[in-house]
Amino acid sequence: MSAVTLKNIVKRFGGFTAVHQTSLEIPEGAFVTLLGPSGCGKTTNLRMIAGLLDPSEGEILIGDKRVNDVPIHERNLGLVFQNYALFPHKTVAENVAFGLKYRDVPSADIPAKVKAALELVQLPDVGHRYPKELSGGQQQRIALARAIVIEPDVLLLDEPLSALDANLREDMRVELKRIQERIGVTTVFVTHDQSEALAMSDFIVVMSEGRVEQVGKPEEVYNTPASEFVANFLGASNIFDATCTSYGGPLVGIEAPVFGGMDIPAEKAPNLKSKGSAKLVVRAEKLVLSKSSAAKGVISVPAKVETVDYQGQAVRYFVRAGETQLQAINMIDGRPFAVGDEVNLHLRPQDCAALPG
């Protein structure tokens, strides 16, 4: 049974359709991320699951219960916001205990539950303080404790890490995942940050302009993008108009500019169903710059380095092969190449993916 089910959901705001016909099943205990740029409808979906917005069409189920007409305060959900939304006039302990007051929790048990929740987020000693006395990261932990202490059926996280500093954000990412695994609550996480999505999710739902582009495990979405949008949004990709010359077997023949003909594994082109026009997707980090010649089975193309964007552990190059500009992200091995260097671009066909044209 799915923990959350969206059946043919549509959401319109006046004449604007924020979410087009969307269906989605979120398995019990899973960590699912709604990923996309701002305005893609991910937050609208989350707010419809939460009960803060009513869908224009379709059904929302939590467990096997239809909740379209159930108001938010009767849905038993944990909600965490980008800007924490702690109650400023209540202490941390009162914040965490807030949801317990409206449940059949004997008041004698409340302090123990609050304490356990604060320990889970590793802030056991701040119960008597007020939210404004805590740092942003601490406030977000308290918001998380407040949301999970009520043992929600679903935990909804609306960009919870976006307001934090970069370093803190990575710590909180690990922490959030640890807590979610520990309590096993079904979690829907909304973010526009692909690295958060890739690092934390069991499943990623990539959205664009109110539609679901792809649903899959992080490595599926990353390695086998289902559309040009997904290929561009997750990581950096080079995308070429290509031609499919053969398909049906374990290998798919692709004829592409720059690289010429190549055979790529069929599982890297699951949506390619006919010969003719196609797209070839080459991830920037799969394109390796080298001075040496290629090993057997590796395509090698001469190119010239045009731009070097040094990033510390890696370098992003823009190179020109013939008329075409490509980008490549390589780990630094010795000294990075310089602008104007003549290099060979190495590419293994099995690292490519293909889409229908």
Partner 1 sequence: MADKTNLGWHLIRGWAIAVYIFMFLPVAVVVLLSFNASQFGSFPMTGFSFRWFAELAQNEAILRAFRTSIILGALTAVFSTTLGVLASLALVRYNVPGRNMITTMLIAPILVPEVVLAVALLLFLNFLGLPKSFPLLLAGHVIFTLPFVILVVQARLVSIKRDIEEAALSLGASPRQTFFEITLPLMMPAVLAGGLFAFTISFDDITGTLFWKPGGVETVPTQIFAMLRNSISPEINALGTVMIFMTVGLPLLGLAIARKVASKGGT
Instruction: Kindly tell me which residue out of 3, 48, 50, 226 binds partner 1, with binding defined by CB under 8 A.
Output: 50
d(CA 144, CA 117): 9
Q: Where are the alpha helices (DSSP H) in the chain?
A: 42-50, 92-101, 110-120, 136-148, 166-183, 194-200, 218-223, 228-233
98 touches partner 1 by CB under 8 A: yes
d(CA 25, CA 4): 6
Phi and psi (nearest 5°) for 209? 50, 45
Cβ nearer to partner 1, comparing 154 with 179: 154
Query: Which one, of 153, 130, 11, 19, lies nearest residue 76 by Cα?
Result: 153
Instruction: Kindly tell me which residue out of 19, 134, 150, 328 binds partner 1, with binding defined by CB under 8 A.
Output: 150
162 touches partner 1 by CB under 8 A: no
Q: Please work out the total of residues on this chain that contact partner 1, with binding judged by CB under 8 A.
A: 32
Cβ nearer to partner 1, comparing 111 with 260: 111
HSE at residue 240, side-chain half, CA atoms within 13 A, is 22
Site for partner 1 in 129-148 (CB under 8 A): 130, 132, 143, 146-147
- Nearest approach in angstroms of CB 54 to partner 1 is 14
Angle between helical axes of 110-120 and 92-101 (0-180°, round to 10): 120
- Nearest approach in angstroms of CB 228 to partner 1 is 35
First to last CA, the chain: 36
Q: Are 308 and 338 in contact (CB under 8 A)?
A: yes
Site for partner 1 in 111-130 (CB under 8 A): 130
40 touches partner 1 by CB under 8 A: no
Span interacting with partner 1, options 85-93, 199-207, 208-216, 223-231, rule CB under 8 A: 85-93
89 touches partner 1 by CB under 8 A: yes
| Close Cβ partners of 130 (under 8 Å, ≥ 6 residues apart) | 88, 90, 91, 92
Phi and psi (nearest 5°) for 261? -85, 145
Instruction: Kindly tell me which residue out of 9, 46, 79, 244 binds partner 1, with binding defined by CB under 8 A.
Output: 79
- Nearest approach in angstroms of CB 99 to partner 1 is 3
- Nearest approach in angstroms of CB 77 to partner 1 is 6
| Residue with the two structure tokens 């699912």 | 32
- Nearest approach in angstroms of CB 31 to partner 1 is 19
Binding positions for partner 1, rule: CB under 8 A: 50, 52, 71-79, 81, 83, 85-91, 98-99, 101-103, 130, 132, 143, 146-147, 150, 156
